[in-house]
């Protein structure tokens, strides 16, 4: 029997689920048992080695997949952080670049001088504008006959 029947003295003990072999004569049984145990151990070792190889293969596949996903994620993140593309200008020899820089500096100095001169003349211009406005107001207040040609048509 596979599970064996419960003996009267073992009524409360849990059943043993291991298979029991039928008793074999003592001398032949020990040799057969040794061979069968060796074969069973060999089979068990082979099964464990196959399971280990399968597990190793699955771990390697997982690591390769994780490495690929990590590389893709890093590339995506770096692409997102990359500043916008700059326009590339054609390279010019350094001597002409220095000459162009000097020309730009001279133009900038001239512009700066003109702006400063205009700012310095601004109070004079404001005075002349005020004088012109006052003259116009005086002319409006005078009761002088202005020739119709010089009058502006109002809309």
Q: What is the pLDDT of residue 1?
A: 46
Report the pLDDT averaged over residues 52-81. Answer: 83
Q: How many residues does the chain have?
A: 155
Q: What is the pLDDT of residues 99-116, one digit of tens each?
A: 888 899 999 999 999 999
What does the alpha-carbon distance between residue 78 and residue 67 come to, in Å, rounded to a whole number? 16
- The DSSP-derived string for 3-16 is S-PPPGGGTTSPPP
pLDDT band at 12 (very low <50, low <70, confident <90, very high): low
pLDDT digit string, tens, across residues 18-57: 666 655 555 556 777 888 888 989 999 999 999 999 999 9
Q: CA-based angle 145:151:155, to the nearest 5?
A: 135
For the whole model, what pTM was predicted?
Answer: 0.30
More reliable by pLDDT, 1 or 49: 49
Token pair of 15, please?
A: 């059943």
């Amino acid at each position: 029997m596979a599970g064996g029947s419960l003996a009267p003295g073992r009524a409360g003990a849990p059943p043993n689920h291991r298979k029991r072999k039928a008793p074999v004569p003592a001398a032949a049984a020990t040799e057969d048992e040794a061979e069968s145990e060796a074969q069973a151990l060999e089979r068990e070792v082979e099964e464990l080695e196959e399971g280990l190889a399968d597990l190793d293969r699955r771990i390697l596949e997982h690591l390769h997949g994780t490495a690929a996903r990590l590389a893709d994620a890093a590339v995506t993140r770096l692409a997102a952080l990359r500043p916008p593309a700059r326009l590339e200008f054609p390279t010019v020899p350094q001597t002409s670049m220095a000459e162009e820089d000097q020309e730009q500096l001279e133009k900038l100095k001239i512009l700066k001088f003109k702006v400063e001169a205009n700012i310095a003349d601004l109070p004079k211009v404001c005075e002349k504008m005020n004088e012109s406005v006052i003259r116009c107001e005086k002319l409006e207040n005078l009761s002088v006959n202005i020739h119709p040609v010089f009058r502006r048509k109002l809309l």
